[in-house]
Structures are given as C-alpha cells and as structure tokens.
A and B are shown apart, each in its own frame.
Chain A
Amino acid sequence: MWRSCLLFGTVLWLAGALPCYGFVAYVSNEKGNTVSVIDTDKWAVIKTIKVGQRPRGIEFTRDGKFVLVAVGDDDTIQMIDTATQEVADTLPSGPDPELFVQDKAGKILYVANENDNTVTLIDLERRARMGDLQVGVEPEGMAISPDGKILINTSETTNMAHFIDTEMRQIVANVLVDSRPRFAEFKSDGSELWVSSEIGGTVSVIDPVKHVVTTKITFEIPGLRQEAIQPVGISIAADDKTAFVALGPANRVAVVDVAGHKVIKYLLVGQRVWHMAFTPDQKYLLVTNGISNDVSVIDVAALKVIKTIQVGELPWGITIAKQ
C-alpha cells in the first residue's frame, strides 16, 4: 500500500499538490457491481473498480497486498491488487459467498456461503479450497478470536452464533441469540463477543468461555418505532472503550460505552447504514449508507459526522488498510 501511496504522492507532488499521508478505503457497491476507492486525505473517491456481480464482504489481506471482495452472484472472491487497484485474481469460495475472515497468519480464509449453510475454508497461498463445515441456515457473520483459536459464524435463520475450534475444525458450542444475527465482533482483549440481531433489535454480549449471553444492548430513539431499529455492523475501537453499531433503517450509528454496555449517543448518518471501518489511526470511522449511496465519515474523538462521500449503488462493506 505504501508503494501506491508513494507513487500517488509523487504524481501529486509533480502536479504541485500536497504529499500523501492518508489511508485508502475500499467500498463494495452491492448493486453497482463496483468497488469505490476513497482517499482519506481528500475524503473523495479516487477510483471506481469494476468487479463481479453482487459484491458484499470486503477486506484487506493481512499483508496489505490485496483487497478481497466476495462477489456472491459469481460464486467467487476476487482479489484486487492494492498496488495497481485492479482485479488480479479469483479465489474458489464455494457458492454465494457473503462475509469472510482470515486467520491470524493470513493463510486461511473462512467464507460464509449463505445459500448452502456452509463455511468454506480456502488456502490463501495456494488459492485453493481446503474443505468446509456445516453450520446453521443462512450463515453470514464471521469473526476470529484475537488469539486465533476460535472462529465465529452467525446463522441468520437459525439465530445462532456457532463457536468453531480452528484447530479441530469442529463446532464446539452454539449460542442462541435474538432474531436474525448479522455480524460478530470480538473485543480486542477477547473477553467478549458482540453479535447484532437485525430483527431482534439488540446486540448480544456473549462470554466466549462460558458460551452464554451475559447481557443485551438495546436501542431506543425517540420518535422512531422499535421495528425500524435494526442493528447490523459493529466496530469496537482498539482500546475497547467505545463501540459503534450501525442501526440500518434507523439511519443512525449508536455510540456505545463498552464497559457499561449502554448507548451514550446516536449519530445521524445516511439511509440504511450497514457496515463500517476505522482508519488505522482510529481517528475516523467510515460507515456505508446503502440507500443514500454514500459513506459518512465520523470524527471519533468529537463523535460528530464531518463528511458525506458519494459512492456507487448500494454501498455495503468497507475496509481501510490492512488489519
């Protein structure tokens, strides 16, 4: 990534502009079948990459060399070379891939195949399929514990978070959550797993050792009926102090105090806010707004929305620099 930055910076310098210190965000546009590339210095789209059909899950590889994007209707995962910002290769993902997560070393990719009730394992080095696991109905959310030992998959219609031992590649526990779980996220210290329930309207906080739901975070917005509050994406800051939850058609991001598991503020963003990502310096949080076709930029320290960036059609996922 620094190479493209340097190249870009050199080009800009030659053009008489400022040097580049910013990051690069990649946004998948589910309906537009494109990926929008955003420069966080200028807060603008600098490139639109044409990808396959129905791009959703999108993540940088651990080494930062590629951005993986799941193109569900093409039944594959495309690899965008971050140096050239072009699609370079594809991975065999199993049918209808949606979200995925890498192991700690960046060697194995775990992919949720929504139509098939399976999680497919892919060897990233050989770019080949290694095997699969049977999970619940409509798998979507994927997360890996900070120690890399446990893989989490959530199943939308089965309403469970499955705990999978990455070494044995077996399910070791299943935790029932509220209706239609979408996304799973661990705290950086691994002490809690948060799972959002879109239709249930809550975020379940799970003890990953005891495999029980210890508490549920609820949301209430004056003037808005409960049914419109549908939590989807979650991002917990690296210091485990503050978390952000996208509330879908409520058009707001909830700011949650992690210790107390309570909402401290609601930030109005665009329409149907879905997923989100921090800049690596944790200064900004970018969220995708599916229906207004834009990305909102939140200043984390000030807890304010500072900018809106127009992207492609139905922005879904977002990834900023390597994890």
Chain B
Amino acid sequence: MFETRTTPFLGRGQVPAGYLIRLLAGLLFVLNTSVTALAADPVEIGVGYLRRATVKPTLSLVEQPAADYGVAGARLAIDDNNTTGKFLNQHFTLHEMRLKETDDPAKAATQLADQNITFIVADLPAEALIKAADAIRDRGVVLFNVGATDDRLREQDCRANVIHVAPTRSMLADALAQYLVWKQWRRWLMVIGSHDEDRLFADALRRSAARFGAKIVQERVFEDTGGARRTDSGVTLIQRQMPVFTQQAPAYDVLVAADESEVFAPYLPYRTWDPRPVAGSAGLVPKSWDAAQDQWGAVQMQNRFLKLNSRHMTALDMQAWTAVRMIGEAVSRVNSADRKTVFDFLRGPDFSVAAFKGQRLTLRPWNLQLRQPILLADGRMVVSVSPQEGFLHQVSELDTLGVDQPETRCKLH
C-alpha cells in the first residue's frame, strides 16, 4: 500500500501524480482483495523514522551510500508488516524526518510524539540519540537505535526507552576476533586512525584481543592530515605510501585497521609491506548484513529489497528493516497497537524475531540490545559468521559477542 512521508522538505500543496496513482491502485487492490468483509477501520500504527541528513562519502566508488541509506530497509519492512496486517486488520505507516546537523533531535522526536507516534526508529549519532530519547521518555515513546554502534549507549548511558538493533563496536570487534583466533591468526598489527570513532573501534579491538587470546604486536597511528580524499595522482602515490607506512613491523599475521572515518583503511589491502591480510575497517569486515548474504533464506530478503529499492541491501538497511519488523511482529503477536502492551511484549521472554541469520534474535533484558550473529564479509562474499563454533556460553552463544551481563554497567530504570 502507499505510505505517507512527512518530510519537512516537501512543498505544501504538492501532491505527486505518483501518489494519486498509488492511491487509486490501493483502492482497487482493497476491492480485489479476498478477505472477509471488514466493517471496522484498520488499527493504524505510525512508525517514526529520524535520519541524518548527511551521509558520509566513501573512498570506494562502488560503496557510495544512496540517499535512502537505512530508510529503504524501513520502507520494505512497512510493506512486509502491511502484508501481514491485511489479515489482522492492522495498517502501518512510516513518518520520516530528516535532521540536518543543526536540527534539534529532541524537538524532532517530540514532534513525532505529538502526532501520537509511539515507535520511532532512529539513525542518529550517540549524542543526538540520547537527546531524542530523553525528550520523549515520559510520553512512553520507544526509540529503536539502528545507526549508533557506541557501547556507552548500552552501558553507562543506557536508557529504558531505547531498544538497540544496531550491533555495538564490541560485538563487531568480538565477531572478528573470534574468527581470527579460530584461524590461528593471533598476532595483529593494529593501525588506528586519528579521529574519536577510530579510537573507539581500536578500544573494542584491544578488548577483543585480550578476551579471545590474540596479541597486538604493535600499534601505529595513521594521522589524518586533511586534504583531498582522492587526488589526481591516484594509485601511484598510494601504492608507495602504504608499504612505507607498514614496513618494519614485528612479525604479525594480520593487519587490523581501526578506521571508521575512512581515511586510509581501504588503501591497505595488497599494499602492506609484508604480504598479510587486512581486517577491521577494510578487507575482512564485521557487519550485521551484507548484499552477498545468501544463507538461511536470505535470497528472498535480498530479492525483495532489490525489487523495491533498485539497489543492494546494506547493513544499515537491514538494521532498519529489523527494527520495523520487530514492531510488526510484536503488534501481530499481542494483536494490539497499545504502546505499553507492545513494549512489554518486546521486553518479555516470548519475543523473538526472524531476520534471515539462521536463528531467532532476542533482546538482552539488561540493556535491550538485540542479540545477533555477525557476518564477516570481504566485499564480494560472506567469509564467515560469528559466533564461531567452540565459543560457548551458558545462556546464549550470541552473548559471546559484546559486553555480557555480568560485566554490564547498565542499570535500566
């Protein structure tokens, strides 16, 4: 069916022709649909989507993020929820809001709450997410974090009204470390970028190394000295620069790069002084989803996404899809749109969601983080999926990834 998009950037009075055509098609569809006659109007469930306006450009041309990065997954999930909702007399709509750097996230969240929207999917940086969550906390609105990987949001800065669908840096680092250790590539040369997020990822990788028995033989910092990210001299300079930068390292098995700012890591594979695989922010990358994922019925998911959005599905798209599907799944199980009923079910022991990763995904009760397998992908294939065989846990093997309950600093109130 059609979805309403409440974007502040659409001019007033403009109704696209496409909208009218879809409205007509929707009416015809409803008339043709073979369901028992519904005298009552469907129960309406509005889902908000807060997204960043700017998307970080990538070094790789083939990885350039699309304008609908993330929200495309949410839109597909709304369609999927509505297909189910047809049979349950429920109807979902997505209300999108794009926030510029200068926009106030608290205000945006409040605006959505004022429209009686009780579930908001947010793809925001950590600080903005906390502001939004706190602004609507007393109104019973639940935020689904699909974009921020910061561990502190699940630890000392955890919030009772935030459900985390995006994995944490510690989960991603642990997923990678388990595989590298399984592979017996235990000696790491770690190269860290000079920005805050790079250092956060490096912290997570250090923790993972200690946890699973890898040894960081040396750390090097790659300073971001600014300048154009791509120059006309192109590869010629880079293929000289990278070997020099990585030479004279102590013996190591794999170069682990912590470069979330994407300044240097994509330039490392095949250019290191020693012939070594690269992992972390380039080479073998841990992520929640990849377009190459074809196991556990994923082909169906990839096909549906491709058909709707005319591009491949990324990790952020999948995180957004999962969040909106969690809402749909909960609403269908309790057969109600009441926010307290739905939220209680989401936090309860019976909730789980199927997300094409071979096992049901559940929420960690202590900090509302979604447990999930993590893929290790090389850009063309999925190389492995963590947790790796042999890493055991008394509650769930998925809890070998990230910060576990006995270690948590989160106290939800």
Which residues of A are in contact with B by a Cβ distance under 8 Å? 96, 114-115, 117, 133-134, 136-138, 155-160, 162, 168-172, 174, 176, 179-180, 199-201, 225, 227-228, 249
Enumerate 19 A-B pairs (CB-CB under 8 Å) in ascending A order: A136-B87, A137-B80, A138-B297, A155-B83, A157-B354, A158-B83, A158-B84, A159-B84, A171-B36, A176-B88, A176-B333, A179-B353, A179-B360, A199-B359, A199-B360, A200-B352, A201-B360, A225-B397, A249-B358
Contact across chains for B300 and A115 when beta carbons are under 8 A apart = yes
Convert B356-372 into 0s and 1s, putting 1 for each residue whose CB lies closer than 8 angstroms to a CB of A.
00111000000000000
Bound complex: CA A197 to CA B411 (Å): 35
* Interface presence of B247 (CB below 8 A): no
Q: Is the C-beta of B34 less than 8 angstroms from some C-beta in chain A?
A: yes
Q: Which residue of A lies closest to B85 (CB)?
A: A158
Given contacts A156-B354, A179-B354, A199-B354, 5 further A-B contacts (CB under 8 A): A137-B84, A169-B34, A170-B34, A199-B359, A227-B358
Interface of A is mostly: loop
> Given the known A-B contacts A136-B87, A156-B297, A199-B359, are A176 and B332 also in contact in the complex, defined by CB atoms under 8 Å?
yes
Indicate the member of B304, B329, B333 with the most A CB atoms within 10 Å.
B304
Q: Is the CB of B87 within 8 A of A137?
A: no
Chain A min CB distance to B329 (Å): 8
Interface of B is mostly: helix
The residue of chain A having its C-beta at the shortest distance from the C-beta of B352 within the complex is A179
A-side contacts of B325, CB under 8 Å? 157
Residue of B nearest to A73 (CB): B299
The answer on a CB contact under 8 Å between B34 and A171 is yes
**Chain B interface: which size bin?**
20 to 34
**Interchain nearest-CB distance for B5 vs A (Å):** 22
B303 at the interface (CB under 8 A from A): yes
- A134-B33, A174-B87 in contact; A115/B303 too (CB < 8 A)? yes
Report whether A134 and B297 are in contact in the complex, using a CB–CB cutoff of 8 Å.
no
Q: Which residue of A lies closest to B329 (CB)?
A: A159
Among residues of A, the one whose C-beta sits closest to the C-beta of B84 is A158
For A169, the chain B residues whose CB sits under 8 A away are 34
B35 adjacent to chain A (CB < 8 Å): yes
B residues less than 8 Å from A225 (CB atoms): 397
CB distance from B181 to the nearest CB of A (A): 21
- Of A138, A176, A199, the contact of B300 (CB 8 Å cutoff): A138
Assess the A200–B360 pair: CB atoms within 8 A: yes
